[in-house]
Amino acid sequence: MDGLLVVDKPIGPTSHDVVARARRLLRERRIGHTGTLDPMASGVLALVVGRATRLAQFMSGDEKVYEARVRLGVRTDSYDADGRALGEPFAGPLPDASTVERALASFIGRFEQQPPIFSAKKIGGRRSYSLARAQARVEAQAGDAGPAAPPAPLPAPVPVTLSAAAVLGYDDGVVRLTLTCSAGFYVRSLAHDIGERLGTGAHLIGLRRTRSGAARIEDATTLADLEADPARAETAVIPMAQALSHLPALVLTDAGVTRTGHGGLLRPGDFSNASELARLAAGPSGAAVKLLSPAGALVAIGRPSPTDPTTLHPSVVLM
């Protein structure tokens, strides 16, 4: 079994937990995921199975789509409902829907985002959440009478893109959002930042991922379904070529397939659509290309030679 298995992750387990359960259910050691989903979040978790684990590097940067719920009026240290409330709740009247929509729209585009302190980002070689938890232990041991400990450091801001966002609903201080964003985007941070922009404070109370690259919630299967019938995965797995729908494709001749299997350089005569090779050669330098068999199966991922863009080198061979 080789390909992309889209799981509808429930709230609770970590992404690693889901991978471990899938390995047991499918009796396949080679399973990984293409992008972590927080324990409190549900929805699309794209698992790469079998030989497709070698393709995760080409999927981890895919665009994501989320539906989120944000509560206005309270800040938390983790930027979500699992954290500790900071300060007093906002006591004034909450902003109206149009004000919330303008605040959300102000984040659309590319900007530097501050990751949450409780995140997997590294600071001096250690995970940020590890430093934050150590800080909390120090504060708990010191108590009210002890000297104030210096605050735990925040991870460095990272460039992210919010390409689309809209308010789906707003009732009783809870905003429902839909977001399309780059890989590495923290919806928790956006919730916190919206609260800061509005002056009310805010935190994330619900998150569901509905798309990750080619993996859509409509194609997802649940862990409960797999537990009831592990054979279901056979029909649910998306073929490797379809999983990389964002990459351009070149079709090999039979001789080209053989040459690819030996790791040899590929020239125009090795492709049945050599004219497409010339067009790709004019594109971004070093861009990955799917190499397909005459029957349409994914054989390898190739990259143009740095000295001759009309010559491709198979960088990941799947034969």
**Does 59 score more than 90 pLDDT?**
no
pLDDT mean over 58-71: 92
Which CATH class for the 3-62+214-243 domain?
Answer: alpha beta
pLDDT at 185: 95
| Ranges of each domain in the chain | 3-62+214-243, 64-114+157-212, 249-317
pLDDT tens column, 153-185 = 778 899 999 999 999 999 999 999 999 999 999
**Does 293 score more than 70 pLDDT?**
yes
Q: Which fold does the domain 64-114+157-212 belong to in CATH?
A: Pseudouridine synthase (3.30.2350)
Structure tokens given for 298: 């994914």
Percent of the chain at pLDDT > 90 equals 60
Structure tokens given for 49: 């199975």
pLDDT-derived band of residue 319, with 50, 70 and 90 as boundaries? Answer: confident
**Does 36 score more than 80 pLDDT?**
yes
pLDDT tens column, 178-216 = 999 999 999 999 999 999 999 999 999 999 999 998 899
The mean pLDDT value of the chain amounts to 88
Of 56, 73, 49, 291, residue with least CA distance to 191? 73
Residues with a known catalytic role: 38
Of 184, 174, 181, 126, residue with least CA distance to 153? 126
pLDDT-derived band of residue 135, with 50, 70 and 90 as boundaries? Answer: low
CATH number (2.30.130.10, 3.40.50.720, 3.20.190.10, 3.40.640.10) of 249-317 reads 2.30.130.10
Q: Which whole-number Å values give the CA distances from 8 to 24, 35, 184, in the listed order?
A: 17, 13, 20
Percent of the chain at pLDDT > 70 equals 87
Domains 3-62+214-243 and 64-114+157-212 share a fold: yes
